[in-house]
């Protein structure tokens, strides 16, 4: 790639970029033996393919349709693009004998309160339950969640608790769940749902820790954008907790936050240096809620819309 004028980005060593005149560029993403090439000029892309084919054996699949199990769908007339795992999801349904399952409006019912205490009420004995491939089912769901389905991130994180007995969750460990959702030009590009490392002593503290985790990912994305030439002047975190926002901007509140691990106070320096900004968003418009809690259908649909998800996704074996 270097011989062809490409530069390996520092933020991701599998991403190469070549800048040309008139703001033209070519971006190549390498994943094992698969490549995705993006550029403004089709002739430039064809020239690159020709150069690469001289260096090693390769197969040109023309416009990308599949990558790592994801189908790429386009609507060129409206300038829209989707990622789909419909075929993969149907294979998962078939594998676990759920082809005829009915779809549901949200990943998990709001009335469910899962903890290890309810395991004895699931039915059957432990030996019978051990014969069911729960780990495989959760792993299959996790792949879909990581690729295209941020809406099931929270429920997938709870499902091992429901079935595997030994997993810890919110009701047992008392730890809160941090969640974030990043969107760009109308679609989700990064998301996470994860138990926090420590037990928060208040809702404000839990939100403060979540903001810090979100900020770490935002700085990575900021550097990524800079390396590929996307000029965005302002990077903003939206949070629905006014008290957490105040805590992140006001170092003078030491008496109320001195028990919080020092690593989480790093966000104050980032905000003071104006590397990122933090603003209040109404709870009804917080798309990250589906990463941290069970939601009613209306709010779940709102979060899906914010993430750019299809309003009628394929059913999943929840």
pLDDT (mean) for 29-58: 86
CA distance 73 to 71: 6
294 CB-side CA count, 13 A: 14
- Identify which has the larger pLDDT, 122 or 241: 241
Q: What is the mean pLDDT of the chain?
A: 77
Q: Which of 52-66, 101-115, 196-210, 278-292 has the lowest mean pLDDT?
A: 101-115
CA distance 27 to 317: 36
Please say if the pLDDT value at position 95 is more than 70.
yes
Cβ-contact 110, 295 below 8 angstroms:
yes
In this predicted structure, what is the pLDDT of residue 314? 45
In this predicted structure, what is the pLDDT of residue 128? 66
Using DSSP's 3-state secondary structure scheme, residue 26 falls into strand
Please say if the pLDDT value at position 89 is more than 80.
yes
The pTM for the full model equals: 0.60
CA distance 185 to 189: 10
CA distance 217 to 77: 33
For the chain, which residues make up each domain, given as ranges?
A: 7-64, 69-174+312-318, 177-291
In this predicted structure, what is the pLDDT of residue 118? 58
Q: What are phi and psi of 231, to 5 degrees?
A: -95, 105
State pLDDT tens for residues 164-181.
222 233 445 577 788 888
For residue 314, the 8-state DSSP code is P
CA distance 306 to 302: 6
Select from 226, 161, 206 the least CA-distant residue to 15.
226
Please say if the pLDDT value at position 81 is more than 70.
yes
């Amino acid at each position: 790639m270097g011989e062809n004028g490409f530069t390996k980005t520092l933020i991701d060593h599998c991403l190469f970029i070549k800048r040309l005149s008139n703001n033209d560029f070519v971006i190549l993403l390498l994943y094992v033996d698969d490549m995705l090439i993006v550029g403004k000029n089709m002739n430039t892309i064809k020239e690159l393919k020709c150069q690469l084919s001289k260096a090693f054996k390769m197969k040109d699949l023309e416009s990308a349709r599949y990558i790592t199990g994801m189908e790429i769908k386009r609507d060129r007339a409206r300038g829209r693009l989707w990622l789909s795992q419909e075929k993969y999801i149907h294979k998962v349904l078939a594998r676990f004998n759920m082809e005829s399952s009915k779809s549901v409006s949200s990943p998990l019912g709001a009335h469910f309160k899962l903890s290890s205490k309810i395991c004895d009420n699931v039915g059957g004995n432990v030996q019978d339950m051990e014969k069911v491939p729960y780990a495989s089912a959760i792993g299959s769901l996790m792949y879909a969640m990581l690729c295209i389905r941020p809406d099931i991130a929270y429920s997938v994180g709870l499902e091992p608790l429901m079935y595997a007995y030994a997993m810890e969750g919110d009701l047992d460990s008392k730890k809160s769940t941090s969640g974030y959702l990043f969107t760009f030009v109308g679609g989700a590009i990064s998301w996470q749902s994860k138990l926090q490392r420590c037990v928060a002593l208040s809702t404000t503290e839990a939100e403060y820790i979540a903001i810090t985790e979100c900020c770490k990912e935002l700085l990575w994305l900021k550097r990524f954008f800079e390396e590929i030439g996307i000029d965005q002047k302002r990077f903003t975190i939206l949070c629905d907790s006014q008290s957490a926002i105040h805590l992140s901007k006001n170092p003078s509140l030491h008496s109320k936050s001195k028990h919080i691990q020092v690593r989480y106070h790093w966000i104050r320096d980032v905000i003071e240096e104006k590397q990122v900004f933090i603003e209040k968003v109404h709870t009804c418009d917080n798309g990250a809620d589906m990463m941290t809690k069970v939601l009613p259908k209306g709010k779940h649909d709102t979060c899906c819309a914010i993430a750019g998800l299809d309003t009628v996704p394929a059913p999943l074996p929840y």
